[in-house]
Amino acid sequence: MAVPIEAVVFDLDGTCLSTEQLIVDVARRILQRKGSSLTKEALEQSIGKPPLDAWQSTIDALGLEQSAEDLYVESEAELTEHWHDASYMPGALRLIHHLTQRGQTASLKIGLATSTPRAVLAKKIQNKPLLQRVFQAVVCGDDDDIRGRGKPHPACFLKVCSLLSVEPSRTLVFEDAPSGLVAALEAGCHCVYVPSIANDSAEEALSEAMRQRVTRIPTLLAFDPVAFGLEAFRDTVEGTIPFVEHPESVIRIRGTVVKGFGRGSSELGIPTANVDTMAVARVLPGATTGIFYGWASLPDTYPGKVYATALSIGWNPFFKSGDDDVGSAAGKKTCEPWLLHDFGGEDFYGAEINVLVLGFIRPESGEFSSLEALIDRIKEDGEVTKRVLAGEAMMAFREDEFLRGQ
């Protein structure tokens, strides 16, 4: 990085907080009250859209009678009661902690630029003490000089830079939405872009000069502060990021083992127990991908047993451009735990599976030179998983009641 970074500015929704999860939960409850239910298709079509459009897509997908406006009003009212339940985006709590730690460039300033109105912000961070105290400047969507000039207008970022007394060119913005990306760049900032929407190609619309100021990553867990002249993280174990330091970062996926393309066993020699997508969408932001590790259990099929697992969550980019049959896998997100245990040729399709995700190994990659290289890397992920899970804090999680089906 040519210019030293003096300030970091965060967007809130979709960057720090996983408010999308909350919105999906509320939508699910509202639909239930209407005698309908949120299907995978409806969810896929509405996710990442502004609320009114999202409701219209849901109405179209489910063939509902109601108007998008009515459902929107109903969901906003219910969301107000639940904003404080929003969880951190994976890696957000850790990153913000890190940026504020002693030893970090003493003068590093931290700000927030959100479209959220100030009163709603208070609700969203109500039980997030870190977010309440960490920002030296906070700009909200309903501030007098911002109203009517929301993102992609650069006003909010210009204002936060001015409040922090830093040059935009020395400011690093974290954003998840195309409009926020444009706003940050128009303001003259650098942007770490962590897109929330799958298959987002926001950079294509940018000028070459602007594109130079964008660093895209698939999740905050993949952010490397050193690349921006900031202090390296000190919490890695065997090159992985364990979640145990911040217990609220542990991810609990409970679902059903479903059929995939059968590629795991046949092409890779590595079977993966694909978890139904709704179960994953319930607990993980749609945008989050990567290779993770943790403990898994199949409480009904193999009661009392806990297995180490390396799991991939994402789009299987290596297989995206292939023959027709695998080509159809493109655009479908999967969650695939490889249980590090020999089941002697048995399968357990249809079984309930619990996965306690305890750490991040690496971003998902389509860059492997060959199938063999991919297989080698997955096996390496398996070895790393076994070594890291042998640690005391990790072993303690084997007893977590979630794995016993509770």
Point out which residues bind ligand ADP (CB under 6 A). 257, 259-266, 271-274, 338-339, 341, 343, 347-349
For the CB of residue 273, give the shortest distance to Mg ion in the complex, in Å: 6
Per the document, the length of the chain is 406
Give the count of beta carbons closer than 10 Å to the beta carbon of residue 205.
Answer: 11
- Residue closest to Mg ion when measured from CB atoms: 272
Concatenated DSSP letters for 348-379?
-TT-EEEEEEEEEEE------SSHHHHHHHHH
102 binds, options Mg ion, ligand ADP, none, Cβ within 5 to 8 A by partner type: none
Our CB check for ligand ADP shows the closer of 147 and 341 to be 341
Site residues for Mg ion per CB under 5 A: 260, 264, 272, 274, 336
CA–CA distance from 178 to each of 23, 63, 143, 150 (Å)? 20, 30, 22, 13
Q: Minimum distance between the CB of residue 349 and ligand ADP, rounded to whole angstroms?
A: 5
If the CB atoms of residues 235 and 276 are measured against ligand ADP, the closer one turns out to be: 276
Among residues 6, 74, 175, 336, the one annotated as catalytic is 336
The count of other CB atoms within 10 Å of the CB of residue 57 is: 19
Q: How far is the CB of 317 from ligand ADP (least distance, A)?
A: 16
Nearest to 143 by CA among 166, 160, 164: 160
What is the H or E stretch that residue 88 is in?
strand 87-88
The interface partner of residue 368, options being Mg ion, ligand ADP, none and the CB cut-off 5 to 8 Å by kind, is none
Distance CA 234, CA 224 (A): 12
Pick 261 or 368: Cβ nearer ligand ADP? 261
Binding at 347: pick from ligand ADP, Mg ion, none (beta carbon under 5-8 Å per type): ligand ADP
CA distance 191 to 189: 6
Query: Considering CB distances under 5 to 8 angstroms, the limit depending on partner class, which of Mg ion, ligand ADP, none binds residue 233?
Result: none
Which residue, 155 or 355, is less far from ligand ADP as judged by CB? 355
For the question of residue 336 being annotated catalytic, the response is yes
Residue among 88 and 315 whose Cβ is closer to Mg ion: 315
CB of 269 to ligand ADP, least distance (A): 9
E strand spans, 211-349: 214-216, 241-242, 251-256, 290-297, 307-314, 334-339
Q: How far apart are CA 239 and CA 359, in angstroms?
A: 11
Q: How far is the CB of 253 from ligand ADP (least distance, A)?
A: 14
Closest CA to 252 of 93, 333, 358: 358
Q: Would you name the residues annotated as active-site residues?
A: 336
